[in-house]
Amino acid sequence: MLNQEIQFQEAFAKTPVDSAQSSVVTRRLDVLALARELRNVSEACKRAGISRSRFYEIKSAFDKHGLQGLTPQPRRKPRMPNQTPLELVEPILNMTARYPTYSYIRVSAKLRASGCEVLPSTVRAVWKQRGLSSCPERLRWLEKKDGGLPTRYARMLRQFSEPKAVALRKPAGQEAVCPSSAFAEPLSLQTSAI
């Protein structure tokens, strides 16, 4: 087995591999060779700074798959237990594309009417993940997705993007004058005429 490890080290040194990946494989081969040389797994693990269980994982991978077993394996993307199933995401996005101005409650009601049991909170979560929480965001998404918008949605999007006029406020202490009373006589003059 020691000869096989040495042969793999020599063969591996000749093959072009990613530098980060090659350093990992080289370190793993070195640990295996050190354990074989010392004939003491505990001492080899101490020198290498790894646990014995990790050593046996490396050794098992090497025994089963050879040099390929020592290369870092890509990890699968974790699936969260509360993640919205893909079979629900597509109908939600399709209904959102049909009715981009609807609230998540109305979209949920439309989906339930069509036979797809989706809670409003699920629609809202899907929108939040994709950045579609507000009506202008959904309209921009639809414009980008379809390459254009129907005229009423385009007009609505323009209205959203226009700056809004700010109402002017009177400073505190100044009272607003009612237009109908602006031309009326002061109260003191009205009472003296009686």
Give the pLDDT confidence of 33-82 residue by residue, as tens digits. 999 999 999 999 999 999 999 999 999 999 999 888 888 888 888 878 88
CB neighbours (10 Å) of residue 25?
Answer: 21
Work out the end-to-end distance of the chain between its first and last CA atoms, rounded to an integer number of angstroms.
123
Tell me which residues of the chain have a pLDDT lower than 50.
Answer: 1-2
- Write down the pLDDT at residue 6: 60
The length of the chain is: 194
- Write down the pLDDT at residue 5: 60
- Write down the pLDDT at residue 4: 61
From CA 121, how far away is CA 18, in angstroms rounded? 45
Half-sphere exposure of 44 (CA within 13 A, CB side): 22
Question: Which residues touch 66 (CB under 8 Å, ≥6 apart)?
Answer: 8
DSSP-derived 3-state class of residue 74: coil
pTM of structure: 0.48
- Write down the pLDDT at residue 168: 65
From CA 125, how far away is CA 80, in angstroms rounded? 14
Q: Which amino acid is at 98?
A: R
From CA 94, how far away is CA 91, in angstroms rounded? 5
Encoded tokens for 108? 């949920």
- Write down the pLDDT at residue 96: 93
Q: Which amino acid is at 60?
A: S
Strands in 59-193 per DSSP E = none
Encoded tokens for 168? 């002017």
Question: Which residues touch 127 (CB under 8 Å, ≥6 apart)?
Answer: 92, 96, 104, 133, 138
Question: Which residues touch 34 (CB under 8 Å, ≥6 apart)?
Answer: 44, 47, 48
